[in-house]
Structure 1
Amino acid sequence: MSVTDLTRELVRTPSHEDETVAGDLLEEWLRRETAAEVTRDEVGNVLARKGAGEETLALVGHHDVVAPADSQVVAGGDEYVVEERDGRLYGRGTADMKGAVAAAAIAFRDADPAGKLVFASFVGEEVGGVGARHAIENGFAPDYAIVGEGSTGYSAPGVTDVAVAHKGRRGSTITARGERAHASEQEAGANAIYRASDAVDVVRNLEAPTVEVAGERLAGSVVVTEIEGGTAMNVVPDRCELTVDERTVPGERATLERVEDLEGVEWTIDQDLPPMECDDEAFAEAVLEAADGAQSDSPKLVTKPHATDAGWLSQAGTECVICGASEPGEAHTDTESVSIAVLERCVDLYRRAAETWPR
Structure 2
Amino acid sequence: MTLAKSTLSDAAALRHLKALVAQPSVFTASDYTRITDYCETVLRRTGARCHRIASARPGRAGLFVSLGPEGPGGVMLSGHLDVVPVDGQPWAGDPFSLSLRDGRAYGRGAADMKGFVACALAAFEAAAGTTLAAPLKLVLSFDEEAGCLGIAEMLPHLVPSIGLADLCIVGEPTEMKLVTGHKGKASYRVDCHGGSGHSALSPTLPSALHMAADIIGILRRIQTELTSAESPAPGYAVPCSTLHAGVLSGGVALNMVPERATLECEIRYLPQSGLDDTEGRLLGGIAALADRNREDFARDDIGIEVTRTSHYPGLDTALSVALRDYLLRLGGESVAGAVDFGTEAGYLAELGMPVVICGPGRIAQAHQPDEFVALDQLSKCSAMLDRLVDSLAAGPPRHPRSAVTPRGAPGGRWWPGAARIL
Task: Please give the range of the TM-score, normalised by the shorter of the 2 chains.
Answer: 0.7 to 0.9
Pairing partner for 2:123 from 83, 99, 107: 107
Q: Which residue number corresponds to residue 63 of structure 1?
A: 81
Q: 2:199, 2:266 → 1: CA distance?
A: 32
Amino acid across the alignment from 1:58: M
Amino acid across the alignment from 1:26: C
Q: CA deviation at 1:204?
A: 0.9
Amino acid across the alignment from 1:110: A
- Counterparts of 1:240-251 in structure 2, within 5 Å, are 240-250=261-271, 251=273
Q: Which runs of 5+ in 2 are unaligned?
A: 1-10, 56-60, 294-303, 400-422
Post-superposition Cα deviations, 1:291-317, rounded to whole Å, max 9, x if no partner, equal 5xx37xx51232121122213222343
Matched, 1:30 2:43: yes
Q: Which residue number corresponds to residue 296 of structure 2?
A: none
Q: Give the 3 Å change call, closer, same or farther, for CA 280–7 of structure 1 in structure 2.
A: same
Q: What root-mean-square deviation, in Å, do the aligned CA atoms of Structure 1 and Structure 2 show?
A: 2.9
Q: Answer whether contact 1:55 1:358 (CA < 8 A) is retained.
A: no
Q: Answer whether contact 1:169 1:272 (CA < 8 A) is retained.
A: yes
State the identity %. 27
- Counterparts of 1:46-195 in structure 2, within 5 Å, are 46-52=63-69, 54-68=72-86, 71=91, 74=94, 80-111=96-127, 113=132, 115-140=134-159, 142-143=164-165, 144-152=167-175, 160-186=176-202, 188-195=204-211
Q: CA deviation at 1:187?
A: 5.0
Query: How many residues matched?
Result: 342
Q: Answer whether contact 2:64 2:158 (CA < 8 A) is retained.
A: no
Q: Give the 3 Å change call, closer, same or farther, for CA 132–200 of structure 1 in structure 2.
A: closer
Q: Answer whether contact 2:219 2:244 (CA < 8 A) is retained.
A: yes
Q: Which residue number corresponds to residue 378 of structure 2?
A: 343
Q: CA deviation at 1:353?
A: 4.2
Q: Secondary structure at the match of 2:158?
A: coil
Q: 1:173, 1:50 → 2: CA distance?
A: 42
Q: 2:51, 2:189 → 1: CA distance?
A: 39
Q: 2:100, 2:397 → 1: CA distance?
A: 34
Q: Which residue number corresponds to residue 254 of structure 2?
A: 233
Q: Give the 3 Å change call, closer, same or farther, for CA 191–42 of structure 1 in structure 2.
A: closer
Q: Answer whether contact 1:260 1:267 (CA < 8 A) is retained.
A: no
Give the structure-2-normalised TM-score: 0.72
Amino acid across the alignment from 1:12: A
Q: Which residue number corresponds to residue 243 of structure 2?
A: 222
Post-superposition Cα deviations, 1:85-137, rounded to whole Å, max 9, x if no partner, equal 12211111111111101112222343565522212222222223343223212
Q: Secondary structure at the match of 1:278?
A: strand
Q: Give the 3 Å change call, closer, same or farther, for CA 184–178 of structure 1 in structure 2.
A: same
Q: 1:14, 1:228 → 2: CA distance?
A: 30
Q: 2:208, 2:85 → 1: CA distance?
A: 37
Q: Which residue number corresponds to residue 414 of structure 2?
A: none
Q: Secondary structure at the match of 2:112?
A: helix
Q: CA deviation at 1:61?
A: 0.9
Post-superposition Cα deviations, 1:15-53, rounded to whole Å, max 9, x if no partner, equal 223332222222222233x23223333342233212337
Q: CA deviation at 1:58?
A: 0.9
Q: Give the 3 Å change call, closer, same or farther, for CA 94–232 of structure 1 in structure 2.
A: closer
Between stretches 167-176 and 299-308, larger displacement belongs to 167-176
Q: Answer whether contact 1:230 1:240 (CA < 8 A) is retained.
A: yes
Q: CA deviation at 1:7?
A: 1.6
Q: Secondary structure at the match of 1:261?
A: helix
Pairing partner for 1:261 from 283, 288, 301: 288
Q: Which residue number corresponds to residue 156 of structure 1?
A: none
Q: CA deviation at 1:282?
A: 5.2
Matched, 1:272 2:282: no
Amino acid across the alignment from 2:17: T
Q: Which runs of 5+ in 1 are unaligned?
A: 153-159
Q: Which residue number corresponds to residue 155 of structure 1?
A: none
Q: Give the 3 Å change call, closer, same or farther, for CA 73–120 of structure 1 in structure 2.
A: farther
Q: Secondary structure at the match of 1:126?
A: coil
Q: Answer whether contact 1:72 1:92 (CA < 8 A) is retained.
A: no
Q: Give the 3 Å change call, closer, same or farther, for CA 41–197 of structure 1 in structure 2.
A: closer
Q: Answer whether contact 2:148 2:311 (CA < 8 A) is retained.
A: no
Q: 1:192, 1:130 → 2: CA distance?
A: 30
Q: Secondary structure at the match of 2:145?
A: helix
Q: Answer whether contact 1:260 1:266 (CA < 8 A) is retained.
A: no
Q: Answer whether contact 1:72 1:80 (CA < 8 A) is retained.
A: no
Amino acid across the alignment from 1:274: P
